[in-house]
Structure 1
Amino acid sequence: MERILFVVPPNITFDDFVRPPGNVGTVRLGQSDKNFGSVITDIPLGIISLSTYLKKHLELTSMAIDFNVQLLKESDFEFGDFRSYFRQHFLAGKYDEFNPTVVAISAQFTSSYHSVVDIAAVCRERFPEATILAGGNLVTAMYRDFFADSACIDAICFGEGELPLRDLLLATDRPALIAGHNSWISREKVPAVGNPFQHTFIEDLDDIPFLDYDILDLDGYRLNPTLSRYAVGAESAGALAIMTSRGCPFKCTFCASYQAHGRKMRYYSEQRVAEDIDQIIARYGMKSFIIQDDHFMGGRERPYNIVAAIKERGGAIFFQNALALYALDRRFLQLLKDTGIDELVLPVESGSARVLKDVMHKPLKLDIVKRVIDDCREIGIFTDCNIIVGMPGETKADIDESREFLKGVYGDWFRVFVATPIPGSEMYDEAIDKKYFVNSPVNANYKRAVIETPDWSAEFIQHISYAMNIELNFVHNSNVRLGDDRKALDCFEKVLRVKPDHAIACFYAASCLERLGEPEKAAEYLEKARDFAATSTFWTPYIEMFGIPVFPDDPREAA
């Protein structure tokens, strides 16, 4: 019987974990008094889909280890690198009896690159007879690099893995299968140029049985999920991730999701989605659902019907991946609100029409952005707007135009990210071709600039992205401008739960509390703001840039 060990590497680099930069959230491990980089725990739908599909076709047992969960369960971390940590973990006796015949490593993000190499090396030591495979968006796009840096990976799956992995495990001659299969890549098959490999997709997603959530430590995914960063996080701690479709037809230059799922849309049937929801409620007692589709709004009535089906069962929904704004008409927004959705992530990306059209190739007009944000505010849905800064081809004038537009709309919150060249994206290829990289692609993390162009430096993008965050969310906060200090305060305190030493969040929380008639609590926050600003020079440029009167001897405070 096959025994497959699925491994998910940390979605953070070792350096960012042990020495988190000032512009990111942090976590504490156990009783440790040290701050570590925030590790996100999102349910890896890919590996549990593989597990359940393989069990449909052959006899096997499976086990999963997600190091994003495992790291957060440690009481402390004293290792000099991740490889040492992985070695200690895999030497533990828990794997003695299981003794996998196949180790399957799944990675999605560039920040996991070195961990994939390290895990493969440690698993080769620990399980010398096992076949070591790797897959996922990252590995699909960077297969040349992985084979160059790892002698321990036996084969790499190109794109989705259900059918290729089934074919491999059923084959009597596995090396021959890999050699002749268009979706399996071996070291010997890597061409000098070009890409001869092809996806092998499941066309009817209903062929995949109910996902194998049972191989996961489900409680562990409540430790620090993405949705804990959002307003609904506390209420949805018991949510379970689902995916109702695969694929995305759009060609945004910063996105590489098509590398795994293709551009053609494929759907689970509405009946199947309803059956999965019923099973989740019955098996796990969970009635909150995180929908992770890349393009949920595909199909005319399908999105309405799925949301309605969840509503009928008394379920709650959170869309982790942003919904296409063009499809968010008043009717659908009202349905979402009636279902209990109080917050949406909106993929605004830029406030520059030129950048959206000519640089990002994103089919979105700015009047739609304003209309959706206004509708959400009227209906009572909190808007969390994603913004990207630093695209190749974007100029400083474009960034200024974007800032001015975004200050003119009343989004509740803006998440400003550094444009990150994801392997497999058009942006990544352009950065490689034009030699824009000034730092390794694998050090990118949406908060660190790794490219520069003739229009700007990496340092400028690093600075302006965070300056936009401060300007839009604090200095020019929409809810403060509209007189809703309570809602603004809730947002500032949410920031402080993720980053307790955020001097500017403390200052603006104090300002809200003062206006809300809570002077004692306001004084506590103001004292913290001054302490954090005095002890860390990180805040100084932004305090000075926007004239934020944090300190008592600042003449602006008297004014």
Structure 2
Amino acid sequence: MRIALIYPPPWKIAAREETVSYGHDGPPPGHRPQDLDADFYQTPYGLFTLGAEALRAGHRVKVLNLSAYAWSRVEEVIAGLDADVFGMSCWTANRRGVALTARCIREHHPKAHIVVGGPHATPLATEMLEHHPEIDTVSLGESDATFLELLGRLELGKPTSGIAGTVYREGDAIRKGPERRAIHDLDTLASPHTYFDTHIVMTSRGCPWACTFCGAETTWGRGFRGHSVRYVLDALERVLARLPVKMLQIKDDTFTTNKKRVLELCHGIRERGLQFFWSCDTRVDLLTEPLLREMRLAGCQRLSLGVESGSQAILDAIDKKITPDEILESTEMAKRVGIKVRYYMMLGNRGETRHTFQETLDFLDRARPHEYIFSCLSIYPGTRDFHDAEAAGFVDREVFFTETFQELKTPFDASEEDTHRMNEWFFANSGLRIVHRDGVADYRAILERLGDYHAAHMDLGAALYHAGDLEGAEHHVRRALELGYPLPGLVHNHLACIAHARGDLDGMMNHFSHAAKVDPQHFVLIQNVNAARAWFKQGGPGRKLPLQLTVRHDFQLLERTVQPTLPGPLPEDWKAWNAIALPAEPSATYLRTPDVEGSQHVLKTRTRLKVVV
């Protein structure tokens, strides 16, 4: 069968040259581009897992990321895709785009089967079918086995009613199939990295905790399940063979839930000689210094911690089950081995006041992570926040079908005055905030603790460069290269900048040229090469014009916007069904710029929230 897996835009987007207004189908009033987090544009990993399962079963599959496409182009693509089955991933932010795309699919392909899944569709499955008659089936939660069973029935011309884990139409009625048990052995699943190029990796599913704002349990069920270490290592080898930039994001809900498993994984990475850098997300109470040391030596560069608040009262209210002291201890342990620490913080959680928020700001001054990002509370369907808010009568699920807001960003119970104060602060401080930078002494101590490790040499070399010690910088940067630093383009970028600081322009360009040959994909390298070319063109050396070059190698995934991971251009033969995966050319531009991360969408006050009753 021909299967199109679509990641649609959030609403109807007008092309730059268009003057059309899409009204209720367009962006919400007052919307700004920065209100959508850059991560929104990443194709959800679930679409790749479903695509891999379908490909292994012998179907023909296309995964298309249309998340930033103008609506006129979306219509053109949908009309040109002669698919038997269209599947879409539905999140709260793109729920309207899913409905609009389903309508477009039904118009152009009246006989196609339309199935929708995802964290927004699962808790509102019945309502989605009631409001959107174009959708045939909603797949609930973990959908791998459900999707394959659906495809099997369609291929044989059998009815799709009664499939476990679905909500479906039966005549004019909407029915729910039996509950589907969670997949016990995740290793039985096809690896997305056998078929698709994506820098996102998931090694496990689920989280044993139940924070009030989180919907992981709705998607995966309660508890933690992990792929075996061998399965993950094999997947890592596949993805590293496919990707030009050796940087990966491990996006498990809580990566270090099973510390023994993570230690074995880190040992396996080193034993197999896999050279790459990675980041992961976890909790502060699941870390030890020996574990963090092994993670760093296996390539972990950044640790994102769900901190949420520095107030114990708020941490207790949201059932976080951590303390500020545990946050401080984990932060210091990670710093000692050179892992960059990022905090994810929140505004507007239950119990939040100006006083608890000030506690959080004071705590950040004490903790001094390398960086943090604040987000405003979104009340997502399926979370405890949603159920409690619905029971209290200040949220009605119908607003997700009648209102145009992007996400329901509203304080759980803060006063209007406190909300206004928090929004003022957030407006001035949203996005990625840099708090702490390690210095030469810190990096020397880290190198001593880790031994002769390439990334520790690179960190120290960069610090010495910024301190003006060019000889020391070159020594450690070159040592990083000798030890197999997995991003040689950034090493040569450093050496080019060192040569420029010495006035060696030939050496600078030689290093830039070599970097472009062996490892050309990095944003900072491209930025510097373009700056140097423009400088020479303007007669910079003879006119003594300044040349500003950037020395940085921090963990950042700034890949070109290429299908199917990001909404890049489609290849010329995108309508054909003779390819397993779309061989697309990258966009000439990048999806995001350095350090622009995190939504800048502020909280609404509850008193202004329109509730349909």
Q: 1:399 aligns with which of 332, 352, 357?
A: 357
SS at match of 1:209: coil
Q: For residue 134 of structure 1, what is the aligned residue in structure 2? A: 116
SS at match of 1:165: helix
**Shift in Å at residue 452 of structure 1?**
5.6
Matched, 1:150 2:132: yes
Matched, 1:65 2:64: yes
**Alpha-carbon distance between aligned partners in 1 of 2:422 and 2:243, rounded to the nearest angstrom:** 44
Q: For residue 353 of structure 1, what is the aligned residue in structure 2? A: 312
**Shift in Å at residue 179 of structure 1?**
3.2
Q: For residue 198 of structure 1, what is the aligned residue in structure 2? A: 179
Matched, 1:100 2:77: no
Alignment of 1:151-230 (within 5 A): 151-171=133-153, 178-187=160-169, 198-211=179-192, 214=195, 218=197
SS at match of 2:344: strand
Matched, 1:9 2:20: no
Q: For residue 277 of structure 1, what is the aligned residue in structure 2? A: 236
Count of matched residue pairs: 436
Matched, 1:318 2:278: yes
**Shift in Å at residue 311 of structure 1?**
3.5
Q: For residue 232 of structure 1, what is the aligned residue in structure 2? A: none
**Alpha-carbon distance between aligned partners in 2 of 1:43 and 1:85, rounded to the nearest angstrom:** 18
SS at match of 1:137: coil
Q: For residue 214 of structure 2, what is the aligned residue in structure 1? A: 255
Matched, 1:424 2:405: no
Q: For residue 34 of structure 1, what is the aligned residue in structure 2? A: none
Contact 2:123 2:382 in 1 (8 A): yes
Deviations along 1:292-340, one digit per CA (max 9) or x if unpaired, are: 11121122410111123233433324335x2111112111222222233
**Shift in Å at residue 116 of structure 1?**
0.5
**Shift in Å at residue 436 of structure 1?**
3.5
**Alpha-carbon distance between aligned partners in 2 of 1:432 and 1:328, rounded to the nearest angstrom:** 36
The aligned amino acid for 1:42 is: Q
**Shift in Å at residue 478 of structure 1?**
4.2
**Alpha-carbon distance between aligned partners in 2 of 1:482 and 1:455, rounded to the nearest angstrom:** 46
**Alpha-carbon distance between aligned partners in 1 of 2:409 and 2:65, rounded to the nearest angstrom:** 27
**Alpha-carbon distance between aligned partners in 2 of 1:190 and 1:483, rounded to the nearest angstrom:** 71
SS at match of 2:409: coil
Q: For residue 462 of structure 1, what is the aligned residue in structure 2? A: 423
**Alpha-carbon distance between aligned partners in 1 of 2:379 and 2:171, rounded to the nearest angstrom:** 26
**Shift in Å at residue 443 of structure 1?**
5.9
The aligned amino acid for 1:465 is: F
User: Greater shift after overlay, 7-16 or 381-390?
Assistant: 7-16
**Alpha-carbon distance between aligned partners in 1 of 2:356 and 2:173, rounded to the nearest angstrom:** 40
Matched, 1:113 2:101: no
**Shift in Å at residue 413 of structure 1?**
1.4
Contact 1:295 1:324 in 2 (8 A): yes
Q: For residue 200 of structure 2, what is the aligned residue in structure 1? A: 241
Matched, 1:450 2:410: yes
The aligned amino acid for 1:315 is: Q
Q: 1:308 aligns with which of 239, 262, 267?
A: 267
Deviations along 1:388-420, one digit per CA (max 9) or x if unpaired, are: 110133233222222222222111212011011
Closer, same or farther in 2 for the Cα pair 1:317/1:379, shift >3 Å?
Answer: same
Deviations along 1:449-497, one digit per CA (max 9) or x if unpaired, are: 3346353465444334345659x947xx44599999x99x9xxxxxxx9
**Alpha-carbon distance between aligned partners in 2 of 1:481 and 1:465, rounded to the nearest angstrom:** 29
Closer, same or farther in 2 for the Cα pair 1:7/1:370, shift >3 Å?
Answer: same
**Alpha-carbon distance between aligned partners in 2 of 1:53 and 1:161, rounded to the nearest angstrom:** 10
SS at match of 2:239: helix
Closer, same or farther in 2 for the Cα pair 1:459/1:191, shift >3 Å?
Answer: farther
Contact 1:396 1:455 in 2 (8 A): no
The aligned amino acid for 1:367 is: D
Contact 2:237 2:274 in 1 (8 A): no
SS at match of 2:86: strand
Q: Which has the higher helix share?
A: 1
Contact 1:141 1:259 in 2 (8 A): yes
Gaps of 5+ in 2: 14-25, 443-461, 467-523, 525-545, 549-599, 601-613
The aligned amino acid for 1:166 is: L
Deviations along 1:249-283, one digit per CA (max 9) or x if unpaired, are: 11101100121211122221111111222222345
The aligned amino acid for 1:420 is: S
**Alpha-carbon distance between aligned partners in 2 of 1:171 and 1:480, rounded to the nearest angstrom:** 58
SS at match of 1:141: coil
SS at match of 2:192: coil
The aligned amino acid for 2:32 is: P
User: Greater shift after overlay, 263-272 or 285-294?
Assistant: 285-294
Contact 1:178 1:185 in 2 (8 A): no
Identity %: 21
The aligned amino acid for 2:389 is: A
Q: What is the root-mean-square deviation in Å for CA atoms of aligned residues?
A: 4.0
**Shift in Å at residue 349 of structure 1?**
0.8
Q: For residue 53 of structure 1, what is the aligned residue in structure 2? A: 53
TM-score (norm 1): 0.68
**Alpha-carbon distance between aligned partners in 1 of 2:29 and 2:361, rounded to the nearest angstrom:** 33
Closer, same or farther in 2 for the Cα pair 1:391/1:301, shift >3 Å?
Answer: same
**Shift in Å at residue 138 of structure 1?**
1.2
Matched, 1:330 2:311: no
SS at match of 1:319: strand
Closer, same or farther in 2 for the Cα pair 1:115/1:61, shift >3 Å?
Answer: same
**Alpha-carbon distance between aligned partners in 1 of 2:202 and 2:309, rounded to the nearest angstrom:** 27
**Alpha-carbon distance between aligned partners in 2 of 1:285 and 1:5, rounded to the nearest angstrom:** 26
Deviations along 1:116-141, one digit per CA (max 9) or x if unpaired, are: 10110001111111111111111112
Closer, same or farther in 2 for the Cα pair 1:201/1:56, shift >3 Å?
Answer: farther
SS at match of 2:106: helix
The aligned amino acid for 1:396 is: R
Closer, same or farther in 2 for the Cα pair 1:208/1:337, shift >3 Å?
Answer: same
Deviations along 1:202-233, one digit per CA (max 9) or x if unpaired, are: 2111111232663x5x4xx7xxxxxxxxxxxx
Closer, same or farther in 2 for the Cα pair 1:405/1:39, shift >3 Å?
Answer: closer
Q: 2:322 aligns with which of 364, 371, 383?
A: 364
Gaps of 5+ in 1: 26-36, 72-76, 222-239, 490-496, 498-518, 522-538, 540-559
**Alpha-carbon distance between aligned partners in 2 of 1:87 and 1:19, rounded to the nearest angstrom:** 25
**Alpha-carbon distance between aligned partners in 2 of 1:246 and 1:125, rounded to the nearest angstrom:** 36
Contact 2:386 2:395 in 1 (8 A): no
SS at match of 2:262: helix
The aligned amino acid for 2:278 is: F
